[in-house]
Chains A and B, each alone.
Chain A
Amino acid sequence: MNILENISAFQNLIYIAASILFITGIKMLGKEDTAVKGNFLSALAMLIAVVITFLDPDVQVNPYLILAGIGVGATVGSLIALKVKMTSIPEMVALFNGFGGLATFFIAWSEFNSVPDNTFQYVLIMLTTYIGGVTFSGSIVAYGKLSEKLKIQKTSIITKFFTTIFYVSIIYLIYSILIANIFIPPFDFFIVLLALTLLGGIGFVIPIGGGDMPVVISLLNSFSGIAAAFAGLLLLNNVLIVAGSLVGASGLILTVIMAKAMNRSIGNILFVGYASSPSGSKSEETGEVKPINVSDAYLILENASSVLVIPGYGMAVAQAQHVVRELGELLESNGTEVKYGIHPVAGRMPGHMNVLLAEANVPYDVLVEPDDVNPMMDTVDVAVVIGANDVVNPSATEEPGSPIYGMPIIEAHNAKTVFVLKRSMSSGFAGVQNPLFFKENTRMLFGDAKDSIGGLVSEFKE
């Protein structure tokens, strides 16, 4: 008994050390210079916490089973992480996140089977099951959407079906928490909860459009942390609580940053979406669109002394980041100052553009945020908009009736000349027409972004 108590005290000391390492790690992960080390420290914390837990003689699960599980998980996880192409990172993050949620889902299930001691534990089990399950199936849907394997219209019957299930699952969760514990139903209500939770998670994410993905991804990230923290409360395990809470908090911060960058509330993004009917003030912007070809664009770029590149999801789709970097280098050797204006919600996840450009070897200190670049926009000779739309839509500042009015944008229209690289005249994710395309100083360079930029690159090389 005495020895066991000592082991438990020792284990708790190690847990404190691991918690401190987690905290330091995540803090360092928030700064460019220390991020790699921060990630390493948090991995170290994980190792310590897992090893000391495993060595506890109180562990009831067969140790070989645990080792086998870790072995399989480590192999699968490492293979995916090392094989995946850098451009598929968004969906990989979603997938891993889902697996974390699934693990807590199983933990809660197992705890339910070992019969909760008190009401508080019972409620925690219901909540952990639900959050873990929704995180899992929601992340899988997000994975499908990000990798473009899953294409479902917001108005389709499947979407409506799953959305309904989502609301049913919430009501059933409340029933499970409040009533099922007291008036025990004649059927296995918990199995029903497990199923509804997984289906509900699909319904939670399925109606959310591509442009709103950054918010959902951050939120699911936060959920997986909260689920782990709740599992920690359930198992009376403090390192789970601390680490889970940190993840919950960091996910929450990203969610808020993303929502702010769209000037919308989180509730609006999750449950409303952009008004589908083009509202009354349908931009009467029917001015002339002025197309330009590659060789004319080249002549203007060659004489520019400062160029701002504004990438959007279209750059990711066209996989144009490498030619963009090449063009940037050629411009610089031509004496032009090149910067990249990155909007926080450009792309499909927080920081999507930053990762793509980093992959193409663009140094991160030439990437600027909207607040820094907007005041000096009138000194920019050419703003090159590559596959971005809503994040450069001047309606957000000029047209109070517009659905995106109030959203902070990159004010590309204030640059001396704007090139917009675009496949066609279709409107952006928000379904709002973009007056930028009709401005006096805008030239449209139609076609695939990779081809257009590639054309500019070869013009420079000649």
Chain B
Amino acid sequence: MEVYALLGFVLILSIYLGLELISKVPSTLHTPLMSGANAISGVALVGAIVLGGEGELQNILAFLAVMFASINVFGGYLVTNRMLKMFKKK
């Protein structure tokens, strides 16, 4: 149980850090921030790799999780990059 207390602490601290870091975002960047953050949520890929893998169903689930998380990661970062490249100063 102790490990959960520790990880819960990491969770709360990270959320707080996120709120502090991003509180003032110019509206120009609302979409790229959302899209970039979205790509980060593809970190589920790491979780998919460490799944327990015995039996057919488990392998299918792991494969699907890896695949969908990868779409999220690659698609998310590339779209964000494409979008950001469009923003120009005068």
Binding site for B on A (CB under 8 A): 22-23, 25-27, 29-32, 35-36, 38-40, 42-43, 46, 49-50, 53-54, 56, 58-62, 65-66, 68-70, 72-74, 76-78, 80-82, 84, 86, 89-90, 92-93, 95-97, 99-100, 102-104, 106-107, 109-111, 113-114, 118, 120, 217-218, 221, 224-225, 227-229, 231-254, 257, 342, 344, 349-352, 354-355, 358-359, 361, 363-367, 369
Chain B residues with Cβ below 8 Å from A350 are 27, 30-31, 34
* Count of chain B residues near A, Cβ 8 A: 81
CB atoms of A236 and B68 under 8 A apart: no
**Chain B residues, Cβ within 8 Å of A100:** 38, 41-42, 44, 68-69, 72, 76
Whole-angstrom CA separation of A420 from B18 in the bound complex: 40
Q: Enumerate chain A residues within 8 angstroms of B55, measured Cβ to Cβ.
A: 113
Choice from A86, A239, A254, A369 contacting B43 with Cβ under 8 Å? A239
Given A73-B67, A78-B74, A92-B79, answer yes or no on A344-B44 (Cβ-Cβ < 8 Å). no
Kindly list 10 other residue pairs between chains A and B, CB separation below 8 angstroms, not including A29-B33, A73-B74, A99-B42.
A26-B33, A26-B37, A49-B43, A50-B46, A61-B53, A70-B70, A73-B68, A80-B71, A114-B52, A244-B43
Nearest neighbor of B42 in chain A, beta-carbon distance: A100
The contact string, 1 if C-beta is below 8 Å from chain A, for chain B 71-89, is: 1111111111111111111
Given A49-B46, A89-B83, A365-B89, are A74 and B58 also a contact pair (CB < 8 Å)?
no
Please tell me if the beta carbons of B38 and A96 are within 8 angstroms of each other in the complex: yes
Interface residue SS majority, chain A: helix
The 6 closest A-B pairs by CB, nearest first: A73-B70, A249-B18, A351-B30, A69-B66, A77-B75, A245-B14
A/B interface sample: 20 pairs, CB < 8 A = A26-B33, A35-B36, A39-B80, A61-B63, A69-B65, A77-B74, A78-B75, A82-B82, A99-B42, A114-B51, A225-B37, A225-B40, A225-B41, A228-B44, A233-B8, A238-B10, A244-B41, A253-B19, A354-B30, A358-B87
> Within the assembled complex, what's the spacing in Å between the Cα atoms of A29 and B53?
36
A129–B80 Cα gap in the complex (Å)? 27
Given A59-B49, A59-B50, A73-B67, are A224 and B41 also a contact pair (CB < 8 Å)? yes
Contact B17 A246 (CB under 8 A): yes
**A197 CB → nearest B CB, Å:** 15
Among A62, A93, A110, contact of B31 (Cβ-Cβ < 8 Å)? A93
